[in-house]
Amino acid sequence: MGTEFSNEVIEKAYARWAPFYDFVFGALFSRARRAAAEAAERVGGRVLEVGVGTGISFPDYSRSTRLVGVDLSEPMLRKAQEKIAELGLNNVEGLSVMDAEHMAFPDNSFDVIVAQLVVTTVPNPEGTLDEFMRVLKPGGEIVLVSRVGADKGPRRVIEQWLTPLTRFLGWRLEFPWTRYERWVEGRDAVRVIERRSMPPFGHFSLIRFGKVKTSAAPDQRLEAHAAG
Ligand SMILES: C[S@@+](CC[C@H](N)C(=O)[O-])C[C@H]1O[C@@H](n2cnc3c(N)ncnc32)[C@H](O)[C@@H]1O
């Protein structure tokens, strides 16, 4: 078993998980999922949930929140489609098979991007976060639920050692906070709004990034100039 992450490996992993994903991961992450939905709804507007999987988070949102879901795994999305039909979720505007790193949406399409347990599964986490920023409107938020691995010490060594196994299961254990910090440092438009520890085991976090509104729109600049 190698340590290289690829979409092919991940697709196979989640095709295996799809039939019993909710049973295994439902209650375990319910508090974190609720916190993510609450954070998204505080921003309001149109929400894109990336790596939406079986749609396990859908019931956490209010029926008035407009949701779009994408995922790499067709078997996981089929479960999400069943959930929409069973629960009559007409606030879900659409589901599509899409790679999180190369989405088909125009720039600035969504008010919030939610990605729960996804950043540590993709081959290129930083490139994927950049793609979230591209489709996010200025003033919007990225809301993540994610495992944050140790920066150093024995826990980091164990996490690295277990990577070949967890890659087969479909995620990374090792993903230190410094990786997020480095990503933020290299990007003027991103700021960290919040990092809050979440169960299980306190190894997970709710992480919120904001997309800074940059210079004023051209018409606002003209108005300011005229007034001054
Ligand atoms: C651990 S599951 C999380 C599912 C759900 N968000 C939750 O809260 O339980 C990871 C999900 O991310 C999806 N995924 C992994 N890599 C992806 C990629 N490159 N693009 C889109 N989805 C991806 C998987 O197919 C899977 O449904």
| Token reading at 216 | 């004023």
Domain 7-221 has CATH 3.40.50.150: yes
Distance 52 CA to ligand 1 centre (A): 6
Q: Which atom belonging to ligand 1 lies closest to the Cα atom of 21?
A: 9
Q: How is 168-182 classified by DSSP, letter by letter? A: HHT--S--BHHHHHH
**Torsional class of 216: left (φ above 0), alpha (ψ -120 to 50), beta (otherwise):** beta
Residue identified by tokens 């980091």 is 156
For 29-55, what is each residue's pLDDT tens digit? Answer: 999 999 999 999 999 999 999 999 999
Length of the chain: 228
Confidence of residue 172 (pLDDT cuts 50, 70, 90): confident
Q: pTM score, two decimals?
A: 0.91
- With a 6 A CB cut-off, is 73 part of the ligand 1 pocket? yes
At 3 the pLDDT is: 60
pLDDT in tens, 77-117: 999 999 999 999 999 999 999 999 999 999 999 999 999 99
What percentage of the chain exceeds 90 in pLDDT?
76
Does ligand 1 have an atom closer than 6 angstroms to the CB of 7? yes
Within 10 A of 124 (CB to CB), how many other CB atoms are there? 12
